[in-house]
Structure 1
Amino acid sequence: MTPYDALIAPFVEFEFMRRAVVGVFALALGAGPLGTFLMLRRMSLTGDAMAHAILPGAAIGFLLAGLNLYAMSLGGMVAGLLVAVGAGVVARATELKEDASLAAFYLISLALGVLIVSLRGSNVDLLHVLFGTVLGIDDATLLLIAGITTATLFTLAVIWRPLVMDCVDPTFLASVSRSGGVSHIAFLALVVLNLVGGFHALGTLLAVGLMMLPAATARFFVRDLSALVALSTLIAFLSGLVGLLVSYHLGTPSGPSIILVAGAAYGCAVVFGPAGGVLSRLLPGRHLEA
């Protein structure tokens, strides 16, 4: 097999592969910066919980309208926002910590969503909701993902400064501005929106993987925030591209293939990453030299 046959021919010969790679590129543009901020704000598990929280809303949309793009997207967005707000309210109104309340909402949402889909759909429909169909992306889904990504990048440009300051010194931000709370709510809304977009390609169980794994991988190579966002976005796109090729040549499911490629990149970064990887910590560094 020539390099052309292995790397280029699948995208030249098959339209569904071209649609998939465009969809992955759009998802990566939003997932890169959001995953970076989730990691820096120590909200990685929050992102995972919110990814599962959209399931019952998407399942209700499926129950009412079948595999309708807009019904499932609207249901997933409403469910994700309700869970995000509900977990915060429970954490502030009771003695339960936010991580515990999110875990409770996550488990309830996952079980409820699977139950609702099972009431009407088949096992194939359930797999579609849980694991997505990135190779089955159509024009409407591409437009939805592109619209979400555009809104994400525009909103991040507006709230970038308070969002960064909230990561570095939230106490100082609270003392000089009231924008911290607004930027936090806007950030959570962006996470939910991008999880809804990712859900159509990767499913509810894997959508957050394209956010968190590239961001965690990039952290082992760079420290600067701008470089971290750029590298995280690049890794997310390359993971999607390589995952699609692996899926095409080996006949494996596309969504899990993409996330496993991102996981392999993370494993390599853990060992070989120059900024805190295993080898960099074991090998003696340079000390004062004459």
Structure 2
Amino acid sequence: MRHALLGCVALALGAAPVGVFLLLRRMSLTGDAMAHAILPGAAVGYLVSGLSLTAMTLGGIAAGLLVAVGSGLVARHTVLREDSSLAAFYLLSLASGVLIVSVKGNSVDLLHVLFGTVLALDNDALLLLGGITLVTLLGLRALYRPLVIESLDPGFLRGMSVWSAIAHHGFLVLVVLNLVAGFHALGTLLAVGLMVLPAAAARLWVTRILPLMALSVALALGASVAGLLISFHADWPTSPVIVLCLGLVYAVSMLAAPEGLWRHSRPGHSHLRA
């Protein structure tokens, strides 16, 4: 439980801020697609070295970057848009990964890959999650200004600076790294939950970007702790309970937040501010 808590802290500190920019850049479903896309790489790593942390991590990163770059190239050089090409890539990736694990492994291994084992995190896994969190925070610090500008007005940055391409591809690398980190704890099917749900809930409460990032981290931490405690006392699987707690936070925010369903009617809408 202590290792699981430390792992969730590391994931919340890294994945939740990345989820904020996924939300602001309208890429939430892209994050979900890329979470599935890392599966074949992790499956190949499992095929080569078993449940090896290093092999599955490197395989997942390689597969995620391959899908991100491949879908971008298809979108640039064909009539397909990036969402269509990404959907095709992630469906093929998901099917390939499930097939590899199913043929070469067993049902327990498949469940481990798809849904994670947050209660089985060891010291090596915690070091990996902590390292990815540190890289993520440093990367967001370096890319913060272009990411904010591109979130609010992508056309302006694209026409005025080379930072648009650097920010876009750098951000995709951070997404893949955090999805791989989440994969070890929550599995490929639920890893994106710790990115998207806290950011979506926080956006209903605040409009400034830095407070939005801080609140998303706080919500992710709170839901993770609640999920761990509930799963421990109820003897339920931990990963889905954590995501369901995040979903409950989102549902409460939808009802009670100033920007939720029950907000007072007023002219205009509030805008995000840096």
Q: Distance in 1 between matches of 2:69 and 2:10?
A: 27
Corresponding residue of 1:6: none
Task: Return the offset for 1:171.
Answer: 2.2
**Counterparts of 1:38 and 1:121, CA distance in 2:** 34
Distance 1:48 1:70 in 2: 23
Matched, 1:105 2:85: no
From 84, 89, 110, the counterpart of 1:126: 110
Conserved in 2, the CA contact under 8 Å of 1:31 and 1:236?
no
Distance 1:101 1:172 in 2: 25
For 1:192, the aligned partner's letter is V
1:209 aligns with 2:193: yes
**Map of 1:278 onto structure 2:** 261
3-state SS of paired residue (2:38): helix
Q: Give the alignment of 1:199-278 within 5 angstroms.
A: 199-275=183-259, 277-278=260-261
Structure 1 residues 284 and 83: alpha-carbon distance in aligned structure 2, compared to 1, 3 A threshold: closer
* Offset at residue 174 of structure 1 (A): 2.5
Give me the whole-angstrom Cα distance separating, in 1, the residues matched to 2:139 and 2:86: 25
Q: Could you tell me how far 1:239 is from its partner in structure 2?
A: 1.0
In 1, the alpha carbon distance for the partners of 2:190 and 2:155 equals 34
In the other structure, the counterpart of 1:155 is 139
Q: Distance in 2 between matches of 1:118 and 1:38?
A: 32
How far residue 103 of structure 1 moved from its aligned partner, in angstroms, is: 1.1
- Number of residue equivalences: 267
- 1-side partners of 2:121 and 2:25: how far apart? 32
- How far the C-alpha of 1:150 sits from its partner, in A, is 0.3
Q: Aligned residue for 1:193? A: 177
Query: Where do 5+ consecutive residues of structure 2 fail to align?
Result: 268-274
Q: Deviations over 1:80-118 (max 9, x none)?
A: 000001111111111111111111111111111000001
**Gaps in structure 1 of 5+ consecutive residues:** 1-16
Shift of 1:175: 3.1
How big is each residue's C-alpha offset from its partner over 1:189-231, in whole Å with a ceiling of 9 and x where there is no partner?
0000010011000000000000000000001100110110000
Which residue, out of 18, 23, 36, partners 2:20?
36
Q: Is the 8 A contact 1:195 1:207 kept in 2?
A: yes
CA RMSD of aligned residues (A): 1.1
Deviation of the 1:129 alpha carbon: 0.2
TM-score, normalised with respect to structure 2: 0.95
* Alpha-carbon distance in structure 1 between the residues aligned to 2:86 and 2:176: 14
Structure 1 stretches (4+) deviating beyond 2 angstroms?
283-286
CA deviation after TM superposition for structure 1 residue 169, in Å: 1.6
Contact 1:80 1:192 in 2 (8 A): yes
**1:176 offset after TM fit, Å?**
2.8
- SS of 1:279's equivalent? coil
1:12 maps to none
Q: Which has the larger displacement, 167-176 or 188-197?
A: 167-176
TM-score, structure 1 length as denominator? 0.90
Counterpart of 1:245 in structure 2: which amino acid? Answer: L
